[in-house]
Structure 1
Amino acid sequence: MLESCQNAQERWGGVHKLIDRWLQERQKLVEAFDRLGETPEALAGNRKKLKEFCGVLVDYVSAGHFEIYEQLIAEAKAFDDERGLELAETIFPRIDVITQFALDFNDHCDKGDCSCAQTLTGKLKELGSRLHERFELEDCLIEVLHNAHKEEAAVQA
């Protein structure tokens, strides 16, 4: 997961400061997730690591919904990019499902329901898989919108 995060930064780093910052937040999320890779028993008892991870998780998914996606949609509309808007309509519902899963995981841990090692291990595994899918969907959206507007933006500059 960390490797795909670094690849995205290399491909789109510098394109837009907002996206750069968000990709850095993604890297922090992946690193926090990787730090949770302890044994399930140790992890279930380590509320501090879980709380830190959940904070980064909520920050990341919130930034996507309340900053990045709005910016990408505004850019697509500004360039009258029907392909980008259609892609967004296809991708956003799946991202919404993944976001809800992430928020439910956070709520589950906030309630103190993360003390069962077996349950926590299963939820983390599923969360990791869903985050990986989300990163791929986001990368696709960024790539299509960036590539579609890159030349147009250079001409307008």
Structure 2
Amino acid sequence: MLTKLANLNEKMTVSHPMIDQWLASRRQLLVAYYQLIGLTPQKNSSEQCDEVVLDTFCQRLVDYLSSGHFKHYQQIEMLLASQAQQNLISVLYPQLEDSTHTLLALYDTYLEPAISNGEIPKLRNVISEVGMQLDALFDLEDKMLLSTELVGSHTSTAQASTSQLAAETAKPVERLSSGMLDS
């Protein structure tokens, strides 16, 4: 996921303070995620999770999801110049909302309680699921960012690919693994 972020940064040719801040917070979230997954595999099922690392990750996750949902998505929408770009955001936005709600459900159901009780066997599966959901969310956000005229592609290429991106993103976001929230 950090490699995808680096690739996205390379494609961006125009700096915008809001996008720079947003991508920096994504990087911080990913670093916290990698610190968390680096710690949990070394624990056995009877050990407590490192609460500080888990708490840092959870805080960054909630902050990132909140800022995207309540701030950045709307600001990106204001940067979209063409009708094709605005049409794409209308396709992406419901998927971004679904992905955000899925991640928040994982947080509310598993991660937040794990700060208190550190149930590692359950937590490992949830952390893996959170990683997959974050990757899906980042892919959607990247499509949104790449649809703006803030990237290095030529305008005609960007407009031609907007229809293709809309078709690709019309596929539903993967739902939680079967039974993940039922356990």
Shorter-chain TM band: 0.7 to 0.9
Post-superposition Cα deviations, 1:91-120, rounded to whole Å, max 9, x if no partner, equal 121211221122223323323476222211
Q: Which runs of 5+ in 2 are unaligned?
A: 156-183
Q: Which residue of 2 aligns with 1:32?
A: 32
Aligned residues, how many? 148
- Give the Cα separation in 2 of the matches to 1:24 and 1:48: 21
Q: Give the aligned residue type for 1:9.
A: N
Q: Which residue of 2 aligns with 1:2?
A: 2
Spell out the pairing of 1:26-105 with structure 2 (5 A cutoff): 26-37=26-37, 38-40=39-41, 41=43, 44-76=48-80, 79=81, 81-105=82-106
- Give the Cα separation in 1 of the matches to 2:89 and 2:19: 16
Q: Give the aligned residue type for 1:84.
A: Q
Answer 1 or 2: higher relative contact order, Cα 8 Å, separation at least 6: 2
Identity percentage over the alignment? 28
Secondary structure, in 3 states, of the residue corresponding to 2:7? helix
- Give the Cα separation in 1 of the matches to 2:127 and 2:149: 32
Question: Would you say the 8 A contact 1:44–1:120 is kept in 2?
Answer: no
Q: Which residue of 2 aligns with 1:137?
A: 140
More helix by proportion, 1 or 2?
1
Moved over 4 A (4+): none
Please report the RMSD computed on the Cα atoms of aligned residues, expressed in angstroms.
2.4
Answer with 4-13 or 58-67: which moved more.
4-13
Question: Would you say the 8 A contact 2:48–2:117 is kept in 1?
Answer: yes
Question: Would you say the 8 A contact 1:2–1:27 is kept in 2?
Answer: yes
Spell out the pairing of 1:136-155 with structure 2 (5 A cutoff): 136-146=139-149
Q: Which runs of 5+ in 1 are unaligned?
A: 153-157
Post-superposition Cα deviations, 1:47-68, rounded to whole Å, max 9, x if no partner, equal 2111100111111111111221
Question: Would you say the 8 A contact 1:14–1:20 is kept in 2?
Answer: no
- Give the Cα separation in 2 of the matches to 1:44 and 1:14: 45
Answer with 107-116 or 51-60: which moved more.
107-116
Say if 1:114 and 1:151 are closer, same or farther in 2 by CA, change over 3 A: farther
Answer with 121-130 or 88-97: which moved more.
88-97
Q: Which residue of 1 aligns with 2:112?
A: 110
- Give the Cα separation in 2 of the matches to 1:118 and 1:102: 19
Say if 1:13 and 1:26 are closer, same or farther in 2 by CA, change over 3 A: farther
Say if 1:52 and 1:74 are closer, same or farther in 2 by CA, change over 3 A: same
